[in-house]
Amino acid sequence: MTQLDPKDSTFEIFNQLCFELFHDYGSHCTSFEPSALIHAKPIQQLPEQASFDIFSLGFGHWYAKLSYAGMCLKIDAGWEFQLEFKDQHGQIYQKVL
């Protein structure tokens, strides 16, 4: 297994895409449906090695997680959006929409 370099452009791409989603997701989301996230432009630009999963927690409530090399963006969508973003330095940002 190769060691991943945090200076690698893939790290920067993933970090930037998650940061964009973290800051801008609520501004262009017209519903709490996961399809808005699936079709968001940053999701289409994820690095190949990144994982992206949406889990259904029940009627009108879902959970999504994007992750790559220790970085992740978690979205908990129900009555409100709760976002948590952990960057490549381990810094955690939280936001409720």
* Predicted confidence band of residue 1 (pLDDT cuts 50, 70, 90): very low
The whole-number pLDDT of residue 2 equals 43
- pLDDT 10s digits, 65-84: 999 888 898 989 888 888 89
> How confident is the model at residue 65, as a pLDDT?
92
Residue by residue, DSSP assigns 17-80 as HHHHHHHHHHHH--SS-THHHHTSHHHHT--TT-EEEEEEEETTEEEEEEEETTEEEEEEESSS
Share of the chain above pLDDT 90, in %: 6
Q: pTM value?
A: 0.74
